[in-house]
Structure 1
Amino acid sequence: MAERQLNMREVARLAEVSVATVSRALREPDKVSDDTRARVNGAAAQLGYIYNAVAGDISTGRSTVIGVLVPAASNALFAETLHSIQDVAMAAGHSTIQGATRYDEAIEGKLIDTLLQRRVKGLVLTGLTYGQEARIAQLATASDVRIVITWEKPPVDTGSISYVGFDNRKASELAVRHLIELGHTRIGLIVGPYSRIARTRHRLDGYRDALDAAGIAFDPSLVLERLPEPVEGREAMEALLAQEEPPTGVFAASDMLAFGALRALHAAGLDVPSDVSLVGFDDVDLAAYTHPPLTTVRVDAARIGRLAAQILIDPAEARSRHYCLDCDLVIRGSTGPVRSGPLRGRHTEIKLGGIPS
């Protein structure tokens, strides 16, 4: 501790400011002027001084670390949210620690425990797996750790837990209604693990809402539950095409699933959208560059991350905050009017096996 204090004094002397100002500039850079921050950072760099954030957290009793849990860090959409959280955190002199739950309740629970043991300032959770709701509510009440649920609007009162999300049910209904308005009545659904994750269950509910409103009977054989990965979307589309009466429209409730589905359609010799229309969900950057460009539900992933981080960092945000963001349907080239005539009558040599991943 004495060595740390001595080095900080040296930084203060070189930057011509007080030791307290050096500490504030390094720990809470948003609390000092741009000129002061630049002088302190320049002096620290010249001396090779690295601020001990852990010791600073201990001395003040206030953590500057935010824990973030996402289902899969490799997913482009969650990466965008992570980048936004990190940007806001860094600007305020905070850092982030991240973990991937892999849509697994046990892994999620262990990661939450680990982050709480690390005394993080707050937790950002990407929705909740079934079974965690009561536990998270108890943690929020029993500890001083702020919790923000993202990517969904919880169906029940979250009390002291904040959320930044959107209505997955209404967004999915919007996507399926678009297909119905184009004349499609046999519509497939490739959806994430709705038996484990609430927000994906809401996307299934939105699909059913759209069918009910149009008087279209629900056919469970057209609903396939898959992890949101391209290879799983490809395999699910193959299974839909192998049915006696394949769908003319498909809603893939994740762009990752839609990319795989599009690959399967092309490999089967089918034209999108003349033979099969396809809608995704998320509007990741790649969606605009597929062939054809993907019609999809746009989610503002960056804004979700920014708002979540601000809730955790801003001292004025002492009470829980609830944000339900809008979603838009971005119509591109992958959807069109329903085709005339049966699919198999026009494509008699469809081969579904052996499509490379």
Structure 2
Amino acid sequence: MTIRDVAEQAGVSVATVSKVLNDRYGVAAATVDRVREVIAELGYESSLVARSLRNQRTNVIGVLVWDIEPFSAELLKGAARAIRGTDYELVVYAGGGKGAGRLGWERRYLSRLSGTLIDGAVLVTPTVLNVDSGAPVVAVDPHSGRETVPTVDADNLQGGRLATEHLIGLGHRRIGFLGRPPRDLESGPLREKGYRSALADAGIPVDPSLVRVADYDENDARNTVRDLLSLPEPPTAIFAANDVSAISTMEVAASMGLRVPGDLSVIGFDNVPESMMCEPALTTVEQPIQLMGRLAVEMLLDVLAGREPAQRHVRLPTRLIVRASCAPPHPPARAQDMGACGG
């Protein structure tokens, strides 16, 4: 459907339709009503590109993510809530976690969208922040930490301590840590730092064989967990740096005949909805993901309106969510089955 179709149906010129669309003077009230009726009947909507060329703005905010996974999906719920009642719309752009060159993905994505499709963007876990797109951006959980770009993240260091202290309090001493490579996220090393700090405070030396990293490939994560649980003296508990890894840990443990939490306690990080859909339900550290998305969009709206955000760098608290996947350590015992996570 084009503007010419609207003009023909309404019996007016294209210029008249354009004036109605842009709320310009010089069109009789009856004609305005007629044109708007036809627009509604035909379902006409001008393209974002055409809108940006006319007005130098699209009233669209982009949320740019490397992939749609549990963390980003939760964040999008908060972002969508933030634009309610505003004149803005939301568009989500993701590469599906595929393709070479993860480093610098936000530059490529922004170059495709800024200037014609979006007025500003929320970058979710960007690898770099020194992007020069011409459009304002706010970063959520940036890999490189705080810079001049407004940011929103969670207290990952404290969250790592909370998880480890919970396991220590249950009596565990051989606690494994499953994290991400340092190049991936600043939050990963901070969670590991919290893990090491809690062990040190409890007088428990860190066993290097219990600290593992796994890449974003699911098979790599599963193989890493299997290696960890196959040690001559395996851990009695594992702290995984995100819920997805924790769920994979429980699934690998089940495939090896280990009971959770009877033989192995598992704790995650994030508190995504999937963490409640496991049997046993996953104990985890919650970061307020939806709130992070909402605050990021609200900060961006301030910038787009020419206002300085109340805070340019927001760090939200984390908290422990105790469920059923952790228990005091017991002598190793084998079982044929264990509940698996639901979809």
**Alignment CA distance shift 1:280-1:230 (3 Å):** farther
Structure 1 gap ranges (5+): 13-17, 25-38, 351-357
Cα deviation, 1:48-102, whole Å, max 9, x if unaligned, reads 32233322221111233333222321x1221122243345447534241412384
Are the counterparts in 2 of residues 278 and 294 from structure 1 also a CA contact under 8 Å?
yes
Identify the residue that residue 115 of structure 1 maps to in structure 2.
113
Residue 326 of structure 1: which of 312, 317, 328 is its match? 317
Provide the aligned C-alpha RMSD in A.
Answer: 3.5
Given candidates 257, 260, 263, the residue that maps to 2:248 is 260
1:189 CA displacement: 0.9
For structure 2, the residue ranges without an aligned partner over 5 or more in a row are 24-33, 337-343
Q: Larger deviation: 253-262 or 45-54?
A: 45-54
1:270–1:4 CA distance, 2 compared to 1 (3 A): same
Sort the Cα spacing of 1:298 and 1:232 in 2 relative to 1 into closer, same or farther, 3 A.
farther
The equivalent residue for 1:191 is 179
Alignment equivalent of 2:141, drawn from 125, 147, 151: 151
Change beyond 3 A, Cα 1:231–1:42: farther
Distance 1:226 1:259 in 2: 14
The letter for the 1-side match of 2:105 is I
Overall identity of the aligned pairs, in %: 31
Cα distance in 2 for residues equivalent to 1:316 and 1:245:
58
Provide the C-alpha distance between the structure 2 equivalents of 1:172 and 1:229, rounded to a whole number of angstroms: 23
Q: Which residue of 1 aligns with 2:124?
A: 126
- Paired residue secondary structure (2:315): strand
Aligned to 1:59: 54
SS in structure 2 opposite 1:297?
strand
- 2: distance between equivalents of 1:296 and 1:41? 52
Q: Is the 8 A contact 2:143 2:184 kept in 1?
A: no
Q: Judge conservation of contact 2:3–2:44 (CA < 8 Å) in 1.
A: no
CA distance in 1, matches of 2:213, 2:109: 25
Matched, 1:270 2:268: no
Alpha-carbon displacement from aligned partner over 1:234-261 (angstroms, at most 9, x marks no partner): 3222111111110011001111111111
Deviations 1:247-279 (A, max 9, x none): 011001111111111011112222211211100
> Residue 80 of structure 1: which of 74, 81, 84 is its match?
74
Contact 1:191 1:228 (C-alpha < 8 Å) held by counterparts: no
Measured at CA, do residues 101 and 266 of structure 1 come closer, stay the same or move farther in structure 2, by a change above 3 Å?
closer
Greater per-residue helix proportion = 1
Q: Does 1:294 align with 2:282?
A: yes
How has the CA–CA distance of structure 1 residues 10 and 195 changed in structure 2, closer, same or farther, with 3 Å as cutoff? same
| Contact 1:182 1:338 (8 Å CA) reproduced | yes
Deviations 1:195-229 (A, max 9, x none): 33222222222211211221221222112211356
Q: Residue type matched to 1:151 in 2?
A: D
Q: Contact 1:230 / 1:258 at 8 angstroms: preserved in 2?
A: no
Secondary structure of 1:105's aligned partner? coil
Which residue identity is paired with 1:331? Answer: V
Q: Deviations over 1:1-34 (max 9, x none)?
A: x94697599599xxxxx9878547xxxxxxxxxx
CA contact (8 A) 1:67 1:124 kept: yes
Residue 145 (structure 1) shift: 1.8
Please give the alpha-carbon distance, in whole angstroms, between the structure 2 residues aligned to 1:8 and 1:322: 52
| Alignment partners' CA distance in 1, 2:265 and 2:9 | 66
Alignment of structure 1 residues 88-237 onto 2, 5 Å: 88-89=82-83, 92-100=87-95, 102=97, 104-116=102-114, 118=116, 120-129=118-127, 132-133=128-129, 135-136=130-131, 139=132, 144-151=134-141, 155-156=145-146, 158-159=147-148, 161-228=149-216, 231-237=219-225
Q: Secondary structure at the match of 1:273?
A: coil
**Distance across 1 between alignment mates of 2:36 and 2:290:** 28
- C-alpha distance in 1 between matches for 2:226 and 2:9: 67
Number of residue pairs matched by the alignment:
315
Distance (Å, rounded) in 1 between the aligned partners of 2:144 and 2:221: 27
Q: TM-score, normalised by structure 2?
A: 0.79
- Secondary structure of residue in 2 paired with 1:258: helix
Q: Structure 1 residues 100 and 194, CA, compared in 2 at 3 Å: closer, same or farther?
A: farther
Alignment check: 8 A CA contact 1:281 1:296 kept: yes
